[in-house]
Structure 1
Amino acid sequence: MNELKTNIEKYFTNDLSTYAFSNYPRDIKKDYYFELRDKISRDLIHIDGILSVYSMGNVGAPGISDLDFLIVVENDFSNKKLLEDYFSNLTDLDKYIAFVHYPFIAFEDNINNVLKILPLSNLNYEQGKKYDFSSEISENENITILSELSFLFYPNLFINILLMKNIDFRQSIQLLNAFRFPLEFILKYNEIKCFKQYIEKLDKIKASWKTLDKEELKKEIIILLKEALFVCYILIDEINKKIECIESKNIDLPSFNVIILNNYNHIKSLTYTVNIYYKYNRLVKFLPLNFIKPYTMLSENNSNIIFEYNTINMKINRNSEFMNRNKLYSDYSNNLTKNNLEDFVPYPFFFKNKKTSILKKVFYKIIKRLYK
């Protein structure tokens, strides 16, 4: 792993003058978060069709933290415009705190499956009807959620920030904080030193950002972004181990965007991700072969995955448990689409991509040849 760290240092500089920094966190009292949370909850419950309001998480770092909401709506909810207008008309300060994204949506008829569909935690009742969100989530399903997060975000989320060199102070710390979710799940089963060290360093920055001058905070964020990138690859290893033994039935899968490799290794993956970005101005993600198994959040007609056709049997396994998850995603996305609520999902899990262009297909053929 020392070689991986060396390559990360090689590709991503510590020279602060090469980065553009913006959106320094605001100094906001914790009590104001709670006042605003209560006000928004009271307001939302008066919108026709909203049955319940829950908040999520805790205000661990006032000025950096945001307020997240989950709203339970009727199956034929039709007041999207009122909901959009409400958040659009908040004051600048209130938007900063509570409008990083729209509330999550849950449909009343599917309330028992909400936590299987959306990776939410620390739900707190605020207004309206009370619901029991508890549902048994198997270890395989949890591993599936982690693999989905890897498909969608890791490690390229951090690679993108470091390559673009545009560092949004607040957003970067929020993204670094969100990364603790998959790490804490793995820590339930394995004591992994670098995971714990990462979380400790993150918590230290969250607790001390007000006392650091801007130059020191810039330095600490760059260091932590690179550490998060390193930890991403260790996380991929841990997920790969856990999904290695999943049993399943055969199903054909499609191609492009994430590249699934039989001869995967971290060093080559990082090297080609960076080189392809500089040559083609595109970010490409490489993941190990086992990540195909819990592939559920993208439709069978989606064009987001590419495989080494010469070395991998394309009859890839997926068991009935994962097929059930796929149906949950499908039903949820259909409800969102029917009610014109696609904008209220801050994750691209649920919607089919348009057919891949010929140019894009040619581009990914080039990438496949590069990865030898």
Structure 2
Amino acid sequence: MNSNKMFFMFILFFSTMISISSNSWFGCWIGLEINLMSFIPLISKSNNLLASEAALKYFLTQSIASINFLFYIIMKMILFKNFEINNIISMMINSSMLMKMGAAPFHFWFPNIVEGLSWFNNFILMTWQKITPMILLSYYFNKNLLIFSILLSIIIGAIGGLNQTSLRKMMAFSSINNLGWLISSIMISENLWFFYLFMYSFLISIMCFFFYFMNSYFINQLFITNIKPMIKLKMLINFLSLGGLPPFIGFFPKWIIINFLMINNFYFMTFIFIMMSLIMLFFYMRIIYSSFMMNYFKMKWLKINFKNNLFSILNFFSILSILGLILSTMIFF
């Protein structure tokens, strides 16, 4: 990493702190703008047209959301000085935040931009960039709009990923699906949201780290390249954990959210959550199945060897995933 990148990374983290610690809407908006201006230099590369296009698209969508947000907070300050809950204003502020994080029905920019980014930038976009809009959403939310957005995000995230061959787009739709879980967790409590975000960031970092070291961007690269079966098994474990299958640690935060939804009588919502999780698991399984079952003998000379320290990190993460249910059951009961 060169000094420029380190500088922009520092500003990226610092701008989130400005937004979430601000005591006025205007301060939140300034933090969001600084965040946008620091992320664009990180994703744009002069020698890569896809990255430059992604940076431009990201800038346009985020600016539209910011303008929207600024317009409605000024309108609120002028027209509603006594700050009574006004449905239209809260819906508009919420919709600009949903657009900023790429939740449905404002998700259209997300998969296109993800396609032009490196795995590290994807990791930042899918985790850190969601923190500020989420926190601002929790200050002033419109319950009905959020429930509509949650259901739409869950469904679009699951169904959109079915016909994808690009791993980045698949992870983008997975991220949209997880946004539905994240928004529902922030409606329950901020502690639960933080826990879910931490677990999701942990799991997505393993996948991004894995694909980065494999230099894989499409499904067929996983079965063309010759990887050791043990590494494929680690990938299977972490994918199933990300999908939320019970023996693994990724199931624990989803279990808590489902529990709270059942207590509050959101039976239909819980049903949708569970059904769409099955679709998510189906397309994760498809990646693994193809990489396990298909072997291209022509490509046997492409031998991929992981360095020992990387392999041990992968082992450690996988053991954590497997031990997940044992640990979580102890905590839960």
TM-score range relative to shorter protein: 0.3 to 0.5
Which is richer in helix?
2
Which is richer in strand?
1
TM-score, normalised with respect to structure 2: 0.34
TM-score, normalised with respect to structure 1: 0.31
Based on CA coordinates, which of the two structures has the bigger radius of gyration?
A: 1
